[in-house]
Amino acid sequence: MLERIWNGWRATYVGSAGEAAVSGEGSVFSQILRSGLDDEATNIVHRGELCFAVLNAYPYGTGHLLVLPCREVANLEDLEQAETSELWTTVTDAVRAIKLAYSPEGINVGINLGRPAGGSVSEHLHVHVVPRWTGDANFMTTVANTRTLPEALDVTAARIRAAWPGQ
């Protein structure tokens, strides 16, 4: 029999993620870039010429980064060559920074293209870089629809910024 584990903690986020794009304001990522707020306020840990890395506001675990082009584009094949090159260089640097800052046992790197594939902000391509440890999923998600994070996002952002290659 198929077991179901509900992760209701993401329901609000997933339900509202596309609202800004529908309203013509652009994705949440475009709004962050246009906000005029500094990197500390937005949890941006790295800015390149064409791409940037930001902490996921609704992380699966501590250190969950999103790497994305500054230009709002939905599909890999719509990236310009320079964006593609910088995107993957930035993903590689994100992996290095997470390894240095957290010493995880593993790292998940992945992209969900399109809403049916799990892309909750599918109009703005983003690569997930998630540190992993054996047994890092815990009972809180299953019994309380809750995630626990051992440190605040601003502390995580500072640790990753300090570990970023070239800093």
Give pLDDT tens digits for 81-90.
Answer: 999 999 999 9
Q: What is the pLDDT of residues 40-55, one digit of tens each?
A: 999 999 999 999 999 9
The CATH number for 159's domain is 3.30.428.10
> Is residue 15 a part of any domain in this protein?
yes
64, 124, 126, 128: the active-site residue: 126
> Is residue 2 a part of any domain in this protein?
no
**Domain containing residue 120:** 8-163
> Is residue 25 a part of any domain in this protein?
yes
> Is residue 105 a part of any domain in this protein?
yes
Residue entry with tokens 């890092």: 136
Separation of CA 81 from chain center:
22
How many domains in the chain? 1
Please, what sign has the CA dihedral across residues 96, 50, 109, 126? positive
> Is residue 126 a part of any domain in this protein?
yes
Q: What is the pLDDT of residues 117-150, one digit of tens each?
A: 776 798 999 999 999 988 776 544 444 455 556 7
Which pTM does this prediction carry? Answer: 0.80
> Is residue 124 a part of any domain in this protein?
yes
Nearest to 54, CA basis, from 26, 6, 90: 90
End-to-end CA distance of the chain: 51
> Is residue 3 a part of any domain in this protein?
no
Answer yes or no: 126 catalytic: yes
> Is residue 1 a part of any domain in this protein?
no
Q: What would the mean pLDDT of 87-107 be, rounded to a whole number?
A: 97
Tell me what the pLDDT averaged over the chain comes to: 84
